[in-house]
């Protein structure tokens, strides 16, 4: 699919989104330097402005997962997960060149923000920080999820299909941001970015459950559950493509020309690490820790698996 599918006639005079439909000449974190003026594009109604978030990089203590043994918050660490010291990147000399290039550029050349406007960017940051929270990662090892999502939307890389009850991905993302903002206002009377993490999670949980209390007309244009899966998928594709995430979960990483030799009994390769699990809990009260069925208990909106397996 090409850019044309999103908007056959970009509206350049609005300036705001022009960078979204044509690659920018000079990439930079916010190269478009946009300020939201108009609230209507492609027939989408959007709030005129998103409120500015409080800038708190460290994240409050209540965001941190809890060490079950001592009942205290777990400190942020370079590498959460049960495989301390495991480092896929340290194996890069054993990878073939093409793979090494792709993985290293993913790590070292984080794409700039070119699709989302600065307010959208902030909102997206806040959302992704709840979709895949990284409070237990130290600052240097956070995975820039939003940048990768932005890059996909900027290049309009689609997954090869669109559900008939969904608008094109770019539009869906914009509509979704709008809806999330509306839900936050409806539930807590504030912008999403101003809410505490648990409140933010509550807002997102309503979409996950297929029950958003606001954004009526948006949900008429796109399926709630499909939007949720779109959002989650994008976040997942960004996070679990990153070597830091591989280290976290103990995945072996690229394996060519050197493959795996120990296939039995979950044994670690000579360069892998054995598992050293530690007990932890999500921050108290976090709804996302609860594993509720996607689309709500009614099961009327069962989502479908997307990935090829066999």
Partner 1 sequence: MAQALSNEKRRRLAGGTVENRSSGLAGLIEETLPKAIIRDTTIVEQHIREGQFQRSLALVTGFSSLLGGLEVAYEHYRGSYSQRIMYTPVVLSGLLALVGIWGAFNRRVARRLLPVVSGVMGLDAVVGFIFHVRGIARKPGGWRIPVFNLIMGPPVLAPLLLAISGFLGMVTAFLRQEEDLGLDRQTTQSYGSSNAKPNSSRLTPWGVSHEALTLEQDIREGYFQRGMALAAALSALCSGFEALYSHYKNNYKYKIQWTPIVLTPLLFAAGIGTIWSRKIAHTLLPIISVLAILNGAVGAFFHLRGILRRPGGAKHPIYNILYGAPILAPLLFAASGFMGLLASLLRRRD
Partner 2 sequence: MKEPLLGSFKAKPEPGEHRLGPIQEIHVPMRKYSQDEEVDFCIVGVGSAGGVLLQRLARAGFRVVGLEAGPFWNTERDWVSDEAGSYKLYWNDLRITGGKNPLALGANNSGHGVGGGSVHWAGFTPRFHPSDFRVCSRDGVGVDWPISYWDLKPYYALLEKEMPVAGPAYYPWGDPHGYTYGPHPTAGVSNVLVNGCTRLGIGVSIGGPVAINSGSHADRPHCIYRGFCIQGCKVGAKQSTLVSHVPDAINYGAEIRDNCMVSRIEMGPQGRVTGVTYYDPDKKEARQKARVVIVCGYAIETPRLLLNSACPGWEQGLANSSGTVGKYLMAQAGNVVMGRFDELIRMYKGPPANSLTEEFYETDPKHDFARGFAVQTVGPLPIAFAKQMMVAKGAWGWGLRRVMMDYNHWAPLGVLGEILPWEDNTVTLAEEKDQFGLPVARVTFNLHDNDRKLINFATKKVEDILIAAGAREVVQEQRYAHLVGACRMGSDPKTSVVDGFGQSHDIPNLFVCDGSILPTQGSANPGLTIQALAARTADYLISERENILEGRPFSRISPPVRHDLSPEGTSGRGVPRLKGTALKVK
* Contact partner at residue 289 from partner 1, ligand FAD, partner 2, none, CB < 5 to 8 Å by partner kind: partner 2
Give whichever of 85 and 308 is closer to ligand FAD, judged by the CB atom.
308
Residues 70-99 that bind partner 1 (CB under 8 A): 94
Give me the least distance between CB of 310 and ligand FAD, in Å please: 5
262 binds partner 1 (CB under 8 A): yes
* Contact partner at residue 98 from partner 1, ligand FAD, partner 2, none, CB < 5 to 8 Å by partner kind: partner 2
* Contact partner at residue 100 from ligand FAD, partner 1, partner 2, none, CB < 5 to 8 Å by partner kind: partner 2
Residues 6+ apart with CB under 8 A from 105: none
* Contact partner at residue 254 from ligand FAD, partner 1, partner 2, none, CB < 5 to 8 Å by partner kind: partner 2
310 binds ligand FAD (CB under 6 A): yes
Phi-psi sector, 284: left (phi>0), alpha (psi -120 to 50), beta: beta
160 binds ligand FAD (CB under 6 A): no
Give me the least distance between CB of 258 and partner 1, in Å please: 5
Instruction: List the structure tokens of 307.
Output: 């990935």
User: What is the maximum alpha-carbon separation in the chain?
Assistant: 62
Q: Determine the angle formed by the axes of helices 145-154 and 169-188, rounding to 10 degrees.
A: 140
Give whichever of 140 and 307 is closer to ligand FAD, judged by the CB atom.
307
* Contact partner at residue 48 from ligand FAD, partner 1, partner 2, none, CB < 5 to 8 Å by partner kind: none
Residues 280-309 that bind ligand FAD (CB under 6 A): 308
| 3-class secondary structure, 220 | helix
The Cα 188–Cα 165 span in angstroms is 29
264 binds partner 1 (CB under 8 A): yes
Give whichever of 69 and 310 is closer to ligand FAD, judged by the CB atom.
310
Q: Are 111 and 151 in contact (CB under 8 A)?
A: yes
CA distances from 10 to 4, 64, 82, 90, 217 (A): 9, 43, 48, 45, 24
Give whichever of 35 and 262 is closer to partner 2, judged by the CB atom.
262
The Cα 149–Cα 106 span in angstroms is 12
The Cα 123–Cα 179 span in angstroms is 12
| CB half-sphere exposure, 98, CA atoms < 13 A | 3
Give me the least distance between CB of 310 and partner 1, in Å please: 20
Q: Are 178 and 214 in contact (CB under 8 A)?
A: no
68 binds partner 1 (CB under 8 A): no
Residues that bind ligand FAD (CB under 6 A): 308, 310
Residues that bind partner 1 (CB under 8 A): 94, 256-259, 261-262, 264-265, 267-268, 270
């Amino acid at each position: 699919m090409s850019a044309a599918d999103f908007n056959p006639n970009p509206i350049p005079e609005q300036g705001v989104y022009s960078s979204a439909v044509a690659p920018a000449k000079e990439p930079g974190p916010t190269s478009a330097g946009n300020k939201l003026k108009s609230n209507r594009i492609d027939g989408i109604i959007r709030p005129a402005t998103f409120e500015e978030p409080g800038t708190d990089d460290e994240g409050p203590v209540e965001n941190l997962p809890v060490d079950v043994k001592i009942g205290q918050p777990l400190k942020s660490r370079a590498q959460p997960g049960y495989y301390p010291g495991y480092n896929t990147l340290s194996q890069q000399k054993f990878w073939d060149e093409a793979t090494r290039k792709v993985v290293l550029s993913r790590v070292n050349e984080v794409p700039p923000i070119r699709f989302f406007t600065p307010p959208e960017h902030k909102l997206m940051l806040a959302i992704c920080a709840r979709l895949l929270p990284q409070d237990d990662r130290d600052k240097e090892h956070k995975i820039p999820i939003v940048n990768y999502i932005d890059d996909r939307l900027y290049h309009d890389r689609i997954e090869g299909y669109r559900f008939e009850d969904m608008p094109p991905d770019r539009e869906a993302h914009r509509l979704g941001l709008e809806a999330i903002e509306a839900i936050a206002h409806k539930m807590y009377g504030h912008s999403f970015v101003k809410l505490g993490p648990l409140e933010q999670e509550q807002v997102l949980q309503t979409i996950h459950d297929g029950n958003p209390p606001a954004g009526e007309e948006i949900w008429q244009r796109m399926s709630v559950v499909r939007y949720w899966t779109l959002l989650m998928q994008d976040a997942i594709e960004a996070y679990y493509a990153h070597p830091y995430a591989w280290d976290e979960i103990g995945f072996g990483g690229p394996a060519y020309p050197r493959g795996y030799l120990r296939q039995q009994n979950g044994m670690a390769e000579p360069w892998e690490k054995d598992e050293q699990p530690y007990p932890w809990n999500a921050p108290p009260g976090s709804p996302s820790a609860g594993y509720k069925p996607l689309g709500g208990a009614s099961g009327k909106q069962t989502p479908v698996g997307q990935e090829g397996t066999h």
